[in-house]
Structure 1
Amino acid sequence: MKIIEIKNMELLAPLFAHWQETMIWSCLEGSMGQAFAPAGGAPRAALLQVADFCFLAGEPCAELAAWRPAGAGDFSILAPQHEGWAAAIEAAWGQKARRCARYAFHKTAEGFDPAALARFAAALPPGYGLRPMGREEYRQALASGWGARDLCAQFADERDYYRRGLGVAVLQEGRLVAGASSYTVYRGGIEIEIDTHPDHRRRGLARACGAALMLECLKRGLYPSWDAQNPASAALAKSLGYRFDREYPVYEVRA
């Protein structure tokens, strides 16, 4: 079966209509990512690839479950719409696919307390400073070897990041040691990415920069969406005012 790229997102929107995920919205509105479906007729299955994520919807398709877009890295997170897709992913990837849980939160700001967020943002330990993600911080993030690339790597280049992205950096003696930034963007907001250098964890840096970024988003009329990779991230989100929605399965695949 031939897999083709789809440019007309209106053809795919019904397949993802009830999936409350900002990265899906990013792709369907043309802000980021790309879309694929089996060739021939109206699509009954589709894959949206945005950053490291692939969202599979519609009728399970073995070829699409095994599809890797050109230029995709060695690591992908496959999100099945239902268990039929989960079975297709397991059949396609076998032991290369590790099933794990992620944690979704309601897309509403009703639990946010700006005063509390301001206190969290100000509660940095001595020796650390908080500032907007500038050009030097952007370059340090891309050159980092501890995961900070994800703070801005999904944008085409530095110019694209400063045109559409948004971020907050934590510095120690001029070095980037933590940050919160737009992993992806859509018209109504951003998907938050937070990373902390291993040597600087458990010091409140993630909460401080996360709170600062949330405040900046609210100031600009943007929604700071949070999707947690693990229970620790979910607990941090709850402490910042996010309302838990559900746990859902994904597959981490190393090709």
Structure 2
Amino acid sequence: MIHEMKQAKNAAGLFAGWQETMVWSCLQGVMGRVYGDDGEEPVSAMALLGDFCFFAGKPHRELVLEAPGLEGRDFLIMTPRDQGWAKLIEDCHGTGVQRSVRYAIKKEPDVFDRDRLRAAVDSLPEGYELRAMDQGLFLRCLEIPWCRDWVALYGDYAQYRERGLGAVILKDGEPVSGASSYSGYLGGIEIEIDTRADYRRRGLAYICGAKLILDCLERGWYPSWDAQNLWSVALAEKLGYHFDHEYVVYEWNGQS
């Protein structure tokens, strides 16, 4: 039987050393949920936040096959702590999951060159407007599928204002690029960055990424970055981050 853990910190030992802020968000009770094979002293656990879940401890078939949060979804990124979990995910879901690779970026609080980031912000081309995420933009982004993830995990703007940050580039009053907090944890955010397809390759993501990093540093937060692809790695490195390692994930498509 799977239990939602009322005291998520009881599973902290199973996730110890995992440098993933979405796991931290769940364990801290800031965002997301933690499930385990036992509500008090689990030996198997899953942290679930947004489109991501993370498996740790002893591989547990029921947790993978009937993981809370799967019902009603058609997509989820499953991250195994070790090869045992990876094999179990493959066994349980078969062709319903696609094995993929993501790229972890080092967490180095003192690595950023603020002068270089300010210069990036100042390079905004004429005709564009760079704005901090406010309530109006928050509500507008919720309505736009391609940038909805910038704000979708926050229950309302009040929660976003407390736990999130964002920088949005507008063209003719509409968002065309932005960097925002996909999720938040105590002391920082996990960055979500994207540019509308018809405005890519113009350096806009670099500009709003630089702005968001500066705003985080001003607040005393760490702007964590995890890369989906090599383009994201390259952008992160341009902003001052350093690549750490590749890791395996499984993209679940709603079937098993």
Q: TM-score, normalised by structure 2?
A: 0.95
Q: What does residue range 1-255 of structure 1 map to in structure 2 within 5 Å? A: 2-39=1-38, 42-70=41-69, 73-145=73-145, 147-255=146-254
d(CA) in 1 for partners of 2:33, 2:39: 18
8 A contact 2:101–2:248 mirrored in 1: yes
Matched residues, number: 253
Greater alpha carbon shift after TM alignment, 67-76 vs 221-230: 67-76
What SS is found at the alignment partner of 2:9? helix
Structure 2 gaps, min length 5: none
8 A contact 2:105–2:243 mirrored in 1: yes
d(CA) in 1 for partners of 2:205, 2:137: 16
The letter for the 2-side match of 1:155 is Y
Cα 1:6–1:40 change in 2 (3 A) is closer
8 A contact 1:207–1:236 mirrored in 2: yes
Residue by residue over 1:61-115, the C-alpha shift from the partner in whole angstroms, topping out at 9 and shown as x without a partner, is: 1111123324663211101001110001111111111111111111112321001
The letter for the 1-side match of 2:240 is G
Greater alpha carbon shift after TM alignment, 111-120 vs 37-46: 37-46
What SS is found at the alignment partner of 1:46? strand
d(CA) in 2 for partners of 1:77, 1:227: 13
Residue by residue over 1:135-193, the C-alpha shift from the partner in whole angstroms, topping out at 9 and shown as x without a partner, is: 22112211113x20000000012222123211111000111111111110011100000
8 A contact 2:177–2:194 mirrored in 1: yes
Structure 1 gaps, min length 5: none
What SS is found at the alignment partner of 1:36? strand
d(CA) in 2 for partners of 1:217, 1:83: 35
d(CA) in 2 for partners of 1:242, 1:125: 24
| Percent of aligned pairs with the same amino acid | 49
What SS is found at the alignment partner of 2:104? strand
What SS is found at the alignment partner of 1:102? strand
8 A contact 1:124–1:208 mirrored in 2: yes
d(CA) in 2 for partners of 1:248, 1:175: 36
8 A contact 1:123–1:204 mirrored in 2: no
What SS is found at the alignment partner of 1:11? helix
Q: TM-score, normalised by structure 1?
A: 0.95
d(CA) in 2 for partners of 1:194, 1:99: 23
Residue by residue over 1:225-253, the C-alpha shift from the partner in whole angstroms, topping out at 9 and shown as x without a partner, is: 00000000011001111111111111111
Residue by residue over 1:169-227, the C-alpha shift from the partner in whole angstroms, topping out at 9 and shown as x without a partner, is: 10001111111111100111000001211111111111100000000000110000000
8 A contact 2:7–2:40 mirrored in 1: no
What SS is found at the alignment partner of 2:127? coil
